[in-house]
Amino acid sequence: MTKINENYRKLPGSYLFTEIARRVTAYGQKNPDKRLIRLGIGDVTRPLAPAVISAMHAAVDEMGTMEGFRGYGPEQGYDFLRQAIAEYDYQARGAEIAPDEIFISDGAKSDCGNIGDIFGVDNVVAVCDPVYPVYVDTNAMAGRAGEYSEAVGRWSNLVYMPCTAENGFAPALPESKVDLIYLCFPNNPTGAVATREQLQAWVDYAESRGAVILFDSAYEAFISDPSIPHSIFEIEGARRCAIEFRSFSKTAGFTGNRCAYTVVPRDLERGGASLNTLWNRRQTTKFNGVPYVVQRGAQAVYSDAGRAQVRETIGFYQNNARVIRAGLAGAGLTVSGGENSPYVWAKTPHGMGSWAFFDLLLQQAGVVTTPGAGFGPSGEGYIRLSAFGGAEDTAEAVERIRAVL
Amino acid sequence: MTKINENYRKLPGSYLFTEIARRVTAYGQKNPDKRLIRLGIGDVTRPLAPAVISAMHAAVDEMGTMEGFRGYGPEQGYDFLRQAIAEYDYQARGAEIAPDEIFISDGAKSDCGNIGDIFGVDNVVAVCDPVYPVYVDTNAMAGRAGEYSEAVGRWSNLVYMPCTAENGFAPALPESKVDLIYLCFPNNPTGAVATREQLQAWVDYAESRGAVILFDSAYEAFISDPSIPHSIFEIEGARRCAIEFRSFSKTAGFTGNRCAYTVVPRDLERGGASLNTLWNRRQTTKFNGVPYVVQRGAQAVYSDAGRAQVRETIGFYQNNARVIRAGLAGAGLTVSGGENSPYVWAKTPHGMGSWAFFDLLLQQAGVVTTPGAGFGPSGEGYIRLSAFGGAEDTAEAVERIRAVL
Answer left, alpha or beta for residue B130, where phi above 0 means left and psi between -120 and 50 means alpha.
beta
Q: What is the DSSP letter of B266?
A: T
Long-range contacts of B163-170 (CB under 8 A, 24+ apart): B163/B128, B163/B129, B163/B130, B163/B187, B163/B190, B163/B192, B163/B378, B164/B378, B165/B334, B165/B336, B165/B347, B168/B192, B169/B336, B169/B337, B169/B345, B170/B194, B170/B198
Smallest CA-to-CA distance from B403 within B37, B115, B112, B87 is with B37
Count of other CB atoms within 10 angstroms of residue A1? 11
Count of other CB atoms within 10 angstroms of residue A96? 12
> Which chain A residue's Cα is nearest to B114?
A286
Mean pLDDT of A172-201: 97
Residues from chain B that touch A258, judged by Cβ atoms under 8 A, are 106, 288-291
Q: Yes or no: say if B240 and B210 are a contact pair by the CB < 8 Å rule.
A: no
User: Is residue A15 predicted with pLDDT exceeding 80?
Assistant: no
CA dihedral A366, A372, A377, A378 (to 10 degrees): -140
**Nearest by CB to A286, which of B4, B50, B110?**
B110
CATH 3.40.640.10 fits B52-303, yes or no: yes
pLDDT of amino acid A17:
82
pLDDT of amino acid B79:
98
Residues from chain B that touch A64, judged by Cβ atoms under 8 A, are 47-48, 50, 53
pLDDT of amino acid B42:
86
CA dihedral A137, A122, B1, B156 (to 10 degrees): -120
Digit-coded pLDDT (tens) for A264-307:
999 999 999 999 999 999 999 999 999 999 999 999 999 999 99
The span from the CA of B23 to the CA of B19, in Å, is 6
User: Is residue A5 predicted with pLDDT exceeding 90?
Assistant: yes
B181 part of contact set with chain A, CB < 8 Å:
no
A137 part of contact set with chain B, CB < 8 Å:
yes
Count of other CB atoms within 10 angstroms of residue A314? 20
Beta-sheet pairing, B260-263 with B242-247:
antiparallel
Ramachandran angles phi, psi of A317, nearest 5°: -70, -40
Residues 43-102 of A with CB under 8 A from B: 43-48, 50, 53, 56-57, 60-61, 63-66, 68-73
Query: Sign (positive/negative) of CA torsion B50, B56, B58, B64?
Result: negative
The span from the CA of A57 to the CA of B53, in Å, is 10
Which residues of A belong to the annotated binding site for pyridoxal 5'-phosphate? 72, 108-109, 132, 188, 219, 247-249, 258, 288
> Peptide bond before A32: cis, by omega within 30 degrees of 0?
no
> Which chain A residue's Cα is nearest to B256?
A71
Task: Pick from B104, B159, B286 the residue to mutate for testing the A interface (most A CBs within 10 Å).
Answer: B286
**Nearest by CB to A286, which of B50, B109, B282?**
B109
**Nearest by CB to A288, which of B50, B109, B273?**
B109
Non-local CB neighbours of B68 within 8 Å, separated by 6+ positions: A47, B61, B62
pLDDT of amino acid B44:
96
Count of other CB atoms within 10 angstroms of residue B316? 15
Angle of the B50-63 helix axis to the A50-63 helix axis, nearest 10: 180
Which residues of B belong to the annotated binding site for pyridoxal 5'-phosphate? 72, 108-109, 132, 188, 219, 247-249, 258, 288
Q: Please measure the distance between the N-terminal and C-terminal CA atoms of chain A and give it in whole angstroms.
A: 59
CATH 3.40.640.10 fits A52-304, yes or no: yes
The span from the CA of B358 to the CA of B20, in Å, is 9
Ramachandran angles phi, psi of B21, nearest 5°: -60, -40
Share of chain A above pLDDT 90, in %: 97
User: Is residue A16 predicted with pLDDT exceeding 90?
Assistant: no
Residue numbers in chain B where pLDDT is lower than 50: none
pLDDT of amino acid A42:
86
Contact flag B43-A71 (C-beta cutoff 8 Å): yes
Non-local CB neighbours of B44 within 8 Å, separated by 6+ positions: A71, B249, B250, B253, B255, B317, B388
Count of other CB atoms within 10 angstroms of residue A387? 27
Q: Where are the domains of chain B?
A: 7-47+305-404, 52-303
User: Is residue A13 predicted with pLDDT exceeding 90?
Assistant: no
Residue A162 C-alpha from the chain's centroid: 18
> Which chain A residue's Cα is nearest to B285?
A134
pLDDT of amino acid B3:
98
Please give the mean pLDDT across all residues of chain A: 97
B275 part of contact set with chain A, CB < 8 Å:
yes
pLDDT of amino acid A63:
98
pLDDT of amino acid A66:
97
Residues from chain B that touch A1, judged by Cβ atoms under 8 A, are 179, 209-211, 270-271
Non-local CB neighbours of A161 within 8 Å, separated by 6+ positions: A126, A127, A128, A129, A171, A172, A174
> Which chain B residue's Cα is nearest to A118?
B5
Which CATH code fits B7-47+305-404? 3.90.1150.10
Residues from chain B that touch A257, judged by Cβ atoms under 8 A, are 63, 291-293
Digit-coded pLDDT (tens) for B171-208:
999 999 999 999 999 999 999 999 999 999 999 999 99
Contact flag A120-B48 (C-beta cutoff 8 Å): no
pLDDT of amino acid B231:
98
* Cα–Cα distance list, B1 to A211, A270, B395 (Å): 5, 8, 58
